Structure 1
Amino acid sequence: MRKLLTAAASAAAFTGLLLLAPATASAASPSASASPSASASGTAKPVLNSVGTSFLTATTLAAGQDADVPVSTGDYLYWAFPAAEGQTPTVQVKVTLPDAADRHGPQTWSLELFDGLRRRQSCTAGPQEGAGEQSAATLQLSCTLRQIRSWAEPWSGDPLPGTYYVRLSTTDIPQTDLGLAATVHVHVAAKGGADDAQPEGGSLKAPLVPPVNAGATAAAAAATPAPSASATYAAAPAAEESHWYSDLFSGWNTRWWWTVAGGVLAALAGVLGYTLTRHPRGHHHPHRPAPVPHQAPPVQPQQNGNWQ
């Protein structure tokens, strides 16, 4: 009888565990499903905490991405972002100036945008330069580019698809304030797209400078990088034309050809110079002085004998 009661109690406990398991799973399911939804809803791009100090080391930003970086006052700061045809990019910068107690005067910051050919682009809206007094805490700068064109004349400076560079610098600052710690917040936004691009009658085969991971080091030799979409824009090098005289002035005999040609030209120049400067041929008579004309003897004065 005791064994039957023990078996019944064990069966009841096992049944209770089975009943509690679904409840526990249902209680834990909301938290488990909350993380995918949160990640799905979080479409904001990560904020970057890096900045470059030249065009080659510029930190790449995507459209809608922010950069929040502590910087040193007086440095040149560079970011890069891609722009496609039909877009109108806008760059917004907020500078948190150093503490007023550490500054010795007003500071002037400047925002500039360059295209892939390092050409400075003009802005259609926004203050590109701002001056903050010694008591000011922040500065707001912005620049809105013209609409990116799909094609332009070679002589024009219109913005074309490719990489654009943001340069932030201080143009007027007391010498004693150089090196003070500041904070810069950069936001890149773009509106429009290929559907908004106006017909220009042509198209650009490749962007000016395809976006790259600036500052990234080369991988190991064994690792082969995957071909990127920008690699398809690379134009094949044009084949050089060869003629019958192409090999005469190339290769190991180039120096000898130029040496012989220089010697011949020097000899001809010497002969020509001697011909132009030498005296004319013929007998040369020494220069004789002109004969002195005959002079009559001087006339003596007559003396009168009756001299008184």
Structure 2
Amino acid sequence: MRTTIRGVLAALALLPALALGAPAASAAPPSPTATASGTAAPATKAGTSFLTAVNLSPGQDADVAVSTGDYLYWAFGASEGQTPTVNLSVNLAPAGDRHGPQTWTVEVFDGLRRRQSCTAGTQNATGDQSATSLTLSCTLREVRTWAEPWSGDPLPGTYYVRLSVTDAPQPDLGLAATAHLHVAAKGNADNAQPEGGTLKAPLVPPVGGGASTAKAAAPVAEKEHWYTGWFSGWNSRWYWTIGGGFLAALAGVLGYHLTRHPRGRRPGHYGAVPPQGSHQHGSYAERP
């Protein structure tokens, strides 16, 4: 029993010496998602749909081995005032394995799966059979803090990048290729212009390189006549009403005299009216 206790005490006494003589422990290995510069390491995967899209952190790129013909999806976030730009480079399969030209396309969608238009960049790139790589890009509009319900303006939130092959020979589908994705954004919240904000620069540059423009000429007064006041002002409607009534009455009287038949006369083609006097009554008296 005493021997055991002595052994334990001897071992405890040697612990400080071992700690001083032992080499320093190596630091923990860096995280696989971080580089020496502190930025996130490139992603090595891509999703095959909107639901499985690989999320990219700010400043993180993607280097992915792809199969020709597959749909590839990535997701990134954008805030108000930013103008995102998506850059893609595709290293095609060896020329000896391909059978014709290939066309690759990049598209960007917002969180509601609405396809966003590109203001700059090459969305569709075609490479012939001897081409080794293709370059695609898409610059979105500035992300806004508000939008009309009927518009498709880009709003803050998640955006999806889709890379696909739109045209390729059938035997080339499935060939191995690689894709590199980089998302850049310029601007920030201070650059956003809310509704009713002021312009940072004039839409139309000033005429004459900043020289003051000539003063506007004074309007030319209209020439007046003696009858000008009759047809202007509050009393003009009375003149028109009285004049119109008089002309209407005159037209009615003239129309009546022109269309009625003269009294006591009949048109000549009917002949004269036979007399109706005492001769007719006498003839009845002479009869037996």
TM-score band by shorter chain is 0.5 to 0.7
Does residue 75 in structure 1 map to residue 80 in structure 2?
no
Write the deviation string for residues 134-173 of structure 1: whole angstroms up to 9, x where unpaired.
Answer: 0000000000100000000000110001110000000000
CA distance in 1, matches of 2:105, 2:73: 12
Indicate the residue corresponding to 1:214 in structure 2: none
Distance 1:201 1:43, change over 3 A: farther
Counterpart of 2:41 in 1: which secondary structure?
coil
The correspondence of residues 221-240 of structure 1 with structure 2, limited to 5 A, is none
Counterpart of 1:101 in 2: which secondary structure?
helix
Shift of 1:81: 0.4
CA distance in 2, matches of 1:143, 1:40: 27
Indicate the residue corresponding to 1:113 in structure 2: 108
- Which aligned segments of 4 or more residues in structure 1 are displaced greater than 2 angstroms? none
Does residue 65 in structure 1 map to residue 60 in structure 2?
yes
Q: Which has the larger radius of gyration?
A: 2
1:57 counterpart letter in structure 2: T
1:107 counterpart letter in structure 2: Q
Does residue 189 in structure 1 map to residue 157 in structure 2?
no
Indicate the residue corresponding to 2:276 in structure 1: none
Counterpart of 2:95 in 1: which secondary structure?
coil
Counterpart of 1:95 in 2: which secondary structure?
strand
CA distance in 1, matches of 2:121, 2:58: 18
Indicate the residue corresponding to 1:122 in structure 2: 117
Shift of 1:74: 0.2
Shift of 1:44: 2.5
Structure 1 counterpart of 2:157, from 145, 159, 162: 162
Distance 1:98 1:160, change over 3 A: same
Counterpart of 2:97 in 1: which secondary structure?
coil
**Identity percentage of aligned residues:** 71
CA distance in 1, matches of 2:162, 2:144: 22
Shift of 1:45: 1.9
Shift of 1:201: 5.9
The correspondence of residues 83-102 of structure 1 with structure 2, limited to 5 A, is 83-102=78-97
- The normalised TM-score by structure 2 is 0.56
Does the aligned pair in 2 maintain the 1:63–1:190 contact within 8 Å?
Answer: no
1:195 counterpart letter in structure 2: D
Q: Which deviates further from its counterpart, 192-201 or 151-160?
A: 192-201
The correspondence of residues 1-308 of structure 1 with structure 2, limited to 5 A, is 42-200=37-195
Does the aligned pair in 1 maintain the 2:35–2:41 contact within 8 Å?
Answer: no
1:67 counterpart letter in structure 2: A
CA-based RMSD of the aligned residues comes to 2.6
Shift of 1:112: 0.3
Does the aligned pair in 1 maintain the 2:103–2:125 contact within 8 Å?
Answer: yes
CA distance in 2, matches of 1:163, 1:133: 34
CA distance in 2, matches of 1:86, 1:63: 15
Shift of 1:41: 6.7
CA distance in 2, matches of 1:40, 1:143: 27
1:69 counterpart letter in structure 2: V
CA distance in 2, matches of 1:55, 1:172: 22
Counterpart of 1:110 in 2: which secondary structure?
strand
CA distance in 1, matches of 2:35, 2:97: 45
CA distance in 1, matches of 2:138, 2:195: 24
CA distance in 2, matches of 1:63, 1:146: 19
CA distance in 1, matches of 2:122, 2:58: 20
CA distance in 2, matches of 1:147, 1:40: 30
Shift of 1:43: 3.0
CA distance in 2, matches of 1:63, 1:123: 21
1:157 counterpart letter in structure 2: G
Shift of 1:200: 2.5
Any gaps of 5 or more consecutive residues in structure 2? 1-23, 198-288
